[in-house]
Amino acid sequence: MKIVVVSAGLSSPSSTRLLADRLTAATLQHADADTKVIELRELATEIAQHFVTGFPPARLAAALDAVAAADGLITVTPVFAGSYSGLFKSFFDLIDKDALTGKPVLLGATGGTARHSLVTEHALRPLFTYLRALVLPTAVYAASEDWGEEGLAQRIARAGAELARFTAPAAVPGPGAAPDVDTAAAIAPRSPTGAITSVDPADGFVTVPFEQRLAALRVP
């Protein structure tokens, strides 16, 4: 399993990279994975060149390929003017439009004040939803006063566990194994008429009319 970490911090050391490292460590507590860190400040010139020439230099091309090949992403940006940084956005503007489809992405951001804590929801989440990524439920924002606080550590631990769970390879049932009813029902498709399907382990998928489902809910 491969996890790529994209950090858009501009200083060295930076709180953005620190948060990225903490999220990575929390993920690795629950998953056996190879990790690669991409520091965008080291690629700033190459990113600008790509926009002008239309061709990525070698280091940038390798970073873009790594993101596309990853099983999961950890992305962390500093907050500039109430949103993600321009460098962060520019890098993901260069990602192929299909590269993140269905890929689990853990969102992180850092800022000087708690007033920017919703940046993960009003800026980062819409960006990765547009790219058709699987954005994890828990996003982590760290203001200056959050470091060393128990609440931040708890959010980091929860987010890391989520990424590990969503990037773990799905178990493949053995030959002749009965389908898992709960799992199959959760992903059961709709029929051409829009009726929801349910599962019978013996018969497979069975279409259940909506009226029948409503009748089953009536109080005797």
The HSE-up count of residue 191 (CA atoms within 13 Å, CB side) is 12
Give the largest Cα separation in the chain, rounded.
Answer: 71
The residues, ordered by sequence, that sit 6+ positions from 31 with a Cβ below 8 Å of its Cβ are 1, 3, 163, 164, 167, 168
**Along the 220 residues of the chain, how does pLDDT read in single tens digits?**
999 999 999 988 899 999 999 999 999 999 999 999 999 999 999 999 999 999 999 999 999 999 999 999 999 999 999 999 999 999 999 999 899 999 999 999 999 888 999 999 999 999 999 999 999 999 999 998 889 888 999 999 999 999 999 998 754 455 555 544 443 333 333 334 334 344 444 445 456 676 676 666 766 5
**pTM for the full predicted model:** 0.76
In whole angstroms, give the CA distance from residue 39 to residue 48: 15
Residue 92, class by beta-carbon neighbours within 10 Å (0-12 exposed, 13-18 middle, 19+ buried)? buried
The gap from C-alpha 34 to its chain's centroid, in whole angstroms, comes to 17
